[in-house]
């Protein structure tokens, strides 16, 4: 009896603590409400300062497009950080997956994929997904099975994936990307105004939110992050679940790599070297706890948009980019500080 009671509590805690509470309480509890107010305040301020430039359809379309790839990466990072882990390799895996997709499409097109059709593009997408998933599986195995700390593992695979990407094309970017891919997915729109790239990112985000907040997989993710040993005693396969989480993150990095390839019409190696840190910052700013067990996909969405709005607003108002770094750093530190305060308050009860 003494064992069954706590096991039941552990199994139900992720659902009872996050899935069954009213939406408003969940948002406030995860700092999401307050960080959303920061985002709204930024939009209002920049709209007031530059009413003819900032609050325009073009500006918001650009914001959505520029954040689409990072949003896909950050959804995967949300799962990892909720388990009390970290993945520094996602940016390099994105680059590697895009490089693999580009090389595969070139090989199928005789060295120049510019005129390739959807058959070649589909194979390229599959290649990117397989490449990203493979790196995620490597991370998951080394972390969950071999027991190596996530920071060390993903620091190693960050360098390995980036080095492998350079080797694939002798350090150069792949530039012959199918024109139809760039025109349709990269810059195409639906309903006249909604970028196709954004639609894909939104669909992935919605699926990620559903997976995290309504399924057993999501409940296990919260349970592992809250108390891995307790989750194990409750019958949750912690090793297997961590393997799945890191594989999912690699899978999403592979998709992000293909989306980036479609948007830039090139692999753009140098453009993604800090994507790992940007994804981590977005997730943490959105209220996901670095200590694990707390977080939401909605918070991550907001966390992705805060730096983007700051950058766009500063560019329009002719403020140096350095101030954006300072502002993002301040918001990030504030988010971690609020998280620590909440943890201390909860532990003192």
Local confidence pLDDT in tens for the 349 residues of the chain? 333 434 444 444 444 444 455 545 544 445 678 888 889 999 999 999 999 899 999 999 999 999 999 999 999 999 999 999 999 999 999 999 999 999 999 999 998 999 999 999 999 999 999 999 999 999 999 999 999 999 999 999 999 999 999 999 988 889 999 999 999 999 999 988 899 999 999 999 999 999 999 999 999 999 999 999 999 999 999 999 999 999 999 999 999 999 999 999 999 888 888 899 999 999 999 989 888 998 999 999 999 999 999 989 999 998 887 888 888 888 888 878 877 777 777 666 6
For residue 69, which phi and psi values (nearest 5 degrees)? -65, -45
Question: At which residue do the structure tokens 């360098």 appear?
Answer: 159
**Residue 328 lies inside a defined structural domain of this protein:** no
Instruction: Please report the pLDDT score of residue 31 as a whole number.
Output: 67
pLDDT of residue 18: 43
Q: Number of structural domains, the chain?
A: 1
Predicted confidence at residue 216, as pLDDT, reads 96
Q: Is residue 294 part of a domain?
A: yes
Range(s) of the domain holding residue 99? 71-320
Distance CA 207, CA 221 (A): 15
In a domain, 283, yes or no: yes
Three-state secondary structure call for residue 279: helix
Which residue's entry shows tokens 């969405």? 301
Q: Residue 334 falls within a domain, yes or no?
A: no
- Phi and psi, residue 191, nearest 5°: 60, 20
- Per-residue pLDDT reduced to its tens digit, 271-294: 888 899 999 999 999 989 888 998
Nearest Cα to Cα of residue 287 among 319, 331, 326, 244: 331
> What CATH number is associated with residue 110?
1.10.3470
Tell me whether residue 111 is in a domain: yes
What pLDDT is attached to residue 22? 55
Q: 10 Å Cβ neighbour count for 79?
A: 28
pTM: 0.89
Average pLDDT, the chain: 88
Report yes or no on 93 lying in a domain. Answer: yes
Q: Is residue 253 part of a domain?
A: yes
Q: Distance between CA atoms of 22 and 154, rounded to whole angstroms? A: 36
Domain membership of residue 81 (yes or no) is: yes
Residues 6+ apart with CB under 8 A from 161: 89, 92, 93, 95, 96, 135
Per-residue pLDDT at 148: 97
Helix (H, G, I), strand (E, B) or coil at 3: coil
pLDDT at 33: 80
């Amino acid at each position: 009896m003494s064992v069954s009671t706590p096991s039941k509590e552990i199994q139900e805690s992720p659902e009872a603590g996050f899935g069954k509470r009213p939406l408003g309480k969940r948002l406030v509890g995860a700092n999401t409400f307050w960080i959303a107010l920061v985002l709204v305040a930024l939009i209002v301020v920049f709209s007031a300062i530059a009413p003819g430039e900032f609050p325009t359809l073009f500006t918001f379309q650009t914001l959505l497009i520029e954040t689409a790839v990072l949003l896909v990466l950050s959804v995967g990072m949300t799962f990892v950080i909720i388990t009390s882990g970290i993945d520094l390799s996602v940016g390099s895996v994105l680059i590697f997956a895009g490089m693999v997709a580009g090389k595969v499409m070139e090989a199928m097109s005789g060295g120049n994929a510019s005129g390739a059709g959807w058959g070649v593009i589909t194979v390229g997408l599959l290649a990117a997904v397989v490449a990203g998933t493979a790196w995620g599986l490597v991370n998951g195995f080394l972390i969950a099975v071999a027991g190596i700390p996530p920071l060390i593992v993903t620091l190693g695979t960050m360098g390995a994936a980036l080095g492998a990407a350079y080797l694939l094309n002798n350090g150069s970017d792949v530039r012959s990307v199918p024109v139809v891919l760039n025109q349709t997915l990269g810059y195409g729109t639906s309903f006249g105004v909604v970028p196709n790239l954004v639609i894909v990112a939104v669909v992935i985000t919605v699926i990620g939110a559903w997976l995290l907040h309504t399924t057993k997989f999501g409940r296990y993710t919260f349970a592992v992050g809250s108390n891995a040993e307790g989750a194990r005693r409750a019958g949750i396969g912690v090793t297997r679940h961590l393997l799945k989480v890191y594989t999912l993150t690699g899978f999403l990095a592979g998709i992000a790599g293909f989306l980036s390839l479609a948007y830039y019409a090139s692999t753009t190696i140098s453009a993604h070297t800090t994507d790992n840190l940007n994804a981590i910052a977005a997730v943490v700013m959105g209220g996901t706890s670095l200590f694990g067990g707390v977080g939401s996909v909605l918070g991550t969405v907001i966390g992705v948009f805060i730096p983007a709005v700051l950058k766009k607003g500063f560019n329009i108002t002719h403020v140096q980019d350095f101030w954006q770094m300072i502002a993002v750093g301040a918001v990030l530190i504030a988010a971690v500080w609020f998280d620590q305060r909440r943890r201390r308050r909860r532990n003192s009860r």
